[in-house]
Amino acid sequence: MDNVVPGDQAKLQIGVEPAGRDEVIMTVGGKLGAGTAHRLRTAITAILNREGVRTIGLDLRRLNSIDSTGIGTIVIAQRISAQAGVRLRLTAVSAFAAHLLSTLGVDVMHGLPPAHLSTAALAGAD
């Protein structure tokens, strides 16, 4: 059986690694948008269904494209995570994503430092 991934879906990479007793880091790279956001939602839902996870860190350093659907997915995932008692936070972002998230005011509410800091500081934020 071939392992074919349709168009935009092949452009989103998601990895999950443990980062402590009750935290995981989800690395998201490539293109997060209307054609791929459902994959991020599915991955976050799977983590929320695990026992013992209290924090999900999103590492967006490898993200090179994000549209309004992708941003909306992150914002909604943060709200759903909070309702489930899990903290969803951004641990790092690409320069492109940092600029966009700060322009929209989404950066600080997801754990990044205020936008007046340099892009270099944003890229390694925790």
Query: Which domain CATH number covers 41?
Result: 3.30.750.24
Tokens for 46, please give them: 């799977």
Residue 75 located in a structural domain: yes
Residue 1 located in a structural domain: no
Residue 104 located in a structural domain: yes
Residue 47 located in a structural domain: yes
Give the count of domains, the chain.
Answer: 1
Strand partners, 87: 55
What tens digit of pLDDT does each residue of 32-71 get?
Answer: 999 999 999 999 999 999 999 999 999 999 998 999 999 9
Return the top range by mean pLDDT from 3-7, 69-73, 104-108, 110-114.
69-73
Residue 50 located in a structural domain: yes
110 with 74: CB under 8 angstroms?
Answer: yes
Task: Count other Cβ atoms within 10 Å, centred on residue 15.
Answer: 12
Q: Which domain holds residue 91?
A: 7-123
* In the predicted structure, residue 7 carries a pLDDT above the cut 80: no
